[in-house]
Structures are given as C-alpha cells and as structure tokens.
C-alpha cells in the first residue's frame, strides 16, 4: 500500500527528528511512521533502494539508521525538504510508492 497522501489529516505529528516532522503511529523498531511534511517518506514501507537519494537534483535526502526495522535498517530522510523544487522525480522512482511531495505543504515544514 502506498504512502497516505492525506497523512496530515489522518495521523498525528508525534515527534521531530533532525528537524524533520514525524507522523505516527511510531512503535520502534517495526513502526517508524512518516517522516517529513512537504516531502514525506513512509518509513514503514520504504525499502531503502536509494533511487530517490541518487536521483534528487537538489539533495533533499540523507541516509539514517533504523536498526531492526523489518523492511530495512536504513531509510532516506527528507532532511533538506525545504530545498525541494517539486520535480517529483523521487515520487516517480520510488518502487514502493513510499514518497509523497505536495507543493501545498511546503509552507508547513
């Protein structure tokens, strides 16, 4: 199942890591939630293939450790989501639809 494009309405902001909003539920290591607002990554379905990180023209993403997560122990965090140019390349290359970019959420980072 792809990332919920309405996560802001359907989930609660429960934390902030590295300056990035975290939307619950979060119950590590299995549930990591959605990280980011303008550029959002669902850590629970991200398989960390790195396509988004490699293809992003403005380096929005960085690797972060997610020890013992059943899908992968690394995830891509939208650490620099404020630099996003809304090209949607990361959305297009994600093989599991774990990323959502919404230009309308840019002002709510």
Binding-site annotation: residue ranges for [3Fe-4S] cluster:
46, 52, 94
Positions at the binding site for Zn(2+): 35
Positions at the binding site: 35, 46, 52, 56, 84, 87, 90, 94
Positions at the binding site for [4Fe-4S] cluster: 56, 84, 87, 90
Q: How many residues does the structure list for the chain?
A: 109
CA 16 – CA 93 distance, rounded (Å): 26
């Amino acid at each position: 199942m792809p990332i919920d494009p309405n996560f802001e309405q359907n989930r609660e902001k429960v934390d902030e890591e590295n300056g990035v909003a975290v939307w619950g539920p979060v119950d590590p290591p299995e549930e990591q939630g959605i990280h980011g607002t303008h550029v959002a990554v669902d850590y629970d379905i991200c398989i960390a293939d790195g396509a988004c990180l490699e293809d992003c023209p403005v380096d929005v993403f960085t690797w972060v450790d997610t020890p013992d997560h059943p899908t992968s122990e690394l995830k891509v965090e939208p650490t620099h989501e404020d630099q996003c140019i809304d090209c949607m390349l990361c959305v297009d290359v994600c093989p599991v639809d774990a990323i959502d970019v919404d230009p309308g959420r840019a002002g709510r980072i």
